[in-house]
Amino acid sequence: MKRPATGWAVTLLAGWSLTLAVAAPASDGGSDCIAPMTYIPLDARQVGAGNQGAPALGTYERVSPDGRFVLRSFSGARLGKVSLMELPAFDAAVVKIYLTPFSNEAFPVQGTWRYLVDVNGEHYRFADVLARQREARPLFRGGMIGFYAAASELADASPENSAPGTFHLRSLSWPQDANPDNQGVGPLQLETLQVRDDGQTARITDSTGARFVCGGRVAVDGDVYALPMISVDGLEFSAIPQRPATGAPTMRVYSLSASAMAREHPCELRADLGFSPGKAVFGFPTPAGGGALLIYSDVGYVYVFDRTLNQSFRLDHGKYRVLASAFPGLTRDGRVVYGASWRDCPQAGNCPEQAGYVVIDPYQSAAYRDHWRAQGQPAPKACITRREVLAERERFARFHKLPP
């Protein structure tokens, strides 16, 4: 693994960038570009103050595909355990805050955010939570629960063979099987649900049940994995084997079956970051293949790992004493969004600590541009444009029947 680039920001995916360059000519970097960095401070009068007077940031942020919403746990006394923050498209002020009926570490079904999932496995329609907030009601209950549970909606590879309104939700977590005879069968458990949703009601029509996975890797990677996270498309997961047979515990990516209701999974090693950072969260699949980006934080900084280049790139800070959350996210169009605390100037007496969200365009970072300059090539993409952001927000709003 190449050492992380410690310039001003991030470099991304040669393959993806090149593909985008072919599909859509690179912007000239003019006025249509979004800001390279936007710090969106929370207002303590809205979200409540933490114990030092700074706005309550919460933790375990999950970012919607369009970057418009952040689902956050530990939201503080004023907003309850879990809240939804609505972020602006370009400005630097939170638009709206929504309460939810959830318990801490509730999570979205990645990919679509069709459902939000409480820690007991109850699935709520996302749009219903926005509309009814704490009064929202669950549609059905199922899938994996437990430590670090996460879920994704599988893309339907053959929609012509699927009944309308039928979806597959795949979730991953720690083993919940108390049967000692089954211990040692595999280090993690996975379940795929088939759900029929008519737009009003939804129900589970089939399930694989909770299945141990990756038992075949025990001889190589041991029987305990830490910090598991399923990919946006549900076809991979990241985790750190805690007792590998050789080498050291490092963040790795493994494959899952593309067959929706598969009972067995290949668990082939797809990537090895070569070190042990915080939880590695997946970006969206890249059109050119080559593996989705991974994003993670490491001692307060956020990094993007480009699997095509096999290299991590650090996103530098635009404020003082920035401490990034452990759960950054990537939007479908490539923006990086994470929770953080910071100060606007170095003197604590003059600048109180702020907390909120940071939005970064990695294409406008010095590291990305330095990378291509070092290659002797123009950067395939100059920036993420306002048009691209608006398109993603429109797509997400249309999917969920929300006002844009």
Tell me if 214 sits within 8 A of 187, measured CB to CB: yes
Q: Least distance (Å) from other proteins to the CB of residue 104?
A: 5
> Residues binding other proteins: what is the number (CB under 8 A)?
39
Is 247 or 404 the residue whose CB approaches other proteins more closely? Answer: 247
Question: Which of residues 52, 158, 179, 350 is near other proteins by CB under 8 A?
Answer: 52
Distance CA(305)–CA(303), nearest Å, equals 6
Cα torsion angle, 359, 364, 368, 370, sign: negative
Is 146 or 215 the residue whose CB approaches other proteins more closely? Answer: 146
Q: Counting contacts by CB under 8 A, is residue 220 touching other proteins?
A: no
Under rule CB under 8 A, which residues in 279-318 are in contact with other proteins? 279, 297-300
Strand 294-298 relative to strand 281-282: parallel, antiparallel, unpaired? antiparallel
Under rule CB under 8 A, which residues in 344-403 are in contact with other proteins? none
Is 88 or 274 the residue whose CB approaches other proteins more closely? Answer: 274
Task: Map 302-326 to HEC letters.
Answer: EEEEECCCCEEEEECCCCEEEEECC
Q: Counting contacts by CB under 8 A, is residue 226 touching other proteins?
A: yes
Under rule CB under 8 A, which residues in 126-155 are in contact with other proteins? 146-148
Is 144 or 382 the residue whose CB approaches other proteins more closely? Answer: 144
Residue 37 pairs in a beta bridge with 360
Which residue type, as a one-letter code, is found at position 85? M
Is 222 or 290 the residue whose CB approaches other proteins more closely? Answer: 222
Given 3-state DSSP classes, what are the helix, strand and coil percentages for the chain, each rounded to the nearest 5? 15, 35, 50
Is 103 or 310 the residue whose CB approaches other proteins more closely? Answer: 103
What are the DSSP calls for 122-171, one per residue?
EEEEHHHHHHHGGG---SEE-S--STT-EEEEPP-S-GGGS-TTEEEEEE
Distance CA(313)–CA(305), nearest Å, equals 6
Give residue for tokens 């939000």: 116
Q: Which stretch binds other proteins (CB under 8 A): 21-29, 128-136, 200-208, 243-251?
A: 243-251
Q: Counting contacts by CB under 8 A, is residue 212 touching other proteins?
A: no
Q: Counting contacts by CB under 8 A, is residue 320 touching other proteins?
A: no
Q: Counting contacts by CB under 8 A, is residue 277 touching other proteins?
A: yes
Tell me if 152 sits within 8 A of 170, measured CB to CB: yes
Q: Which stretch binds other proteins (CB under 8 A): 123-131, 152-160, 219-227, 303-311?
A: 219-227
Tell me if 53 sits within 8 A of 351, measured CB to CB: no
Distance CA(44)–CA(383), nearest Å, equals 32
Distance CA(81)–CA(123), nearest Å, equals 17
Q: Counting contacts by CB under 8 A, is residue 73 touching other proteins?
A: yes
Q: Counting contacts by CB under 8 A, is residue 50 touching other proteins?
A: yes
Q: Least distance (Å) from other proteins to the CB of residue 325?
A: 8
Q: Counting contacts by CB under 8 A, is residue 329 touching other proteins?
A: no
H runs (alpha helix) in 52-141: 126-132
Is 181 or 198 the residue whose CB approaches other proteins more closely? Answer: 181
Question: Which of residues 323, 366, 391, 397 is near other proteins by CB under 8 A?
Answer: 323
Question: Which of residues 247, 287, 289, 404 is near other proteins by CB under 8 A?
Answer: 247
Smallest CA-to-CA distance from 364 within 389, 388, 340, 381 is with 381
Q: Which stretch binds other proteins (CB under 8 A): 19-27, 123-131, 200-208, 241-249?
A: 241-249
Q: Ramachandran region of residue 393, left (φ > 0), alpha (ψ -120 to 50) or beta?
A: alpha
Q: Which residues contact other proteins (rule: CB under 8 A)?
A: 50-52, 59-60, 73-74, 104-105, 146-148, 174-175, 183, 187, 223-224, 226-227, 240, 242-243, 246-249, 275-279, 297-300, 323, 325-326
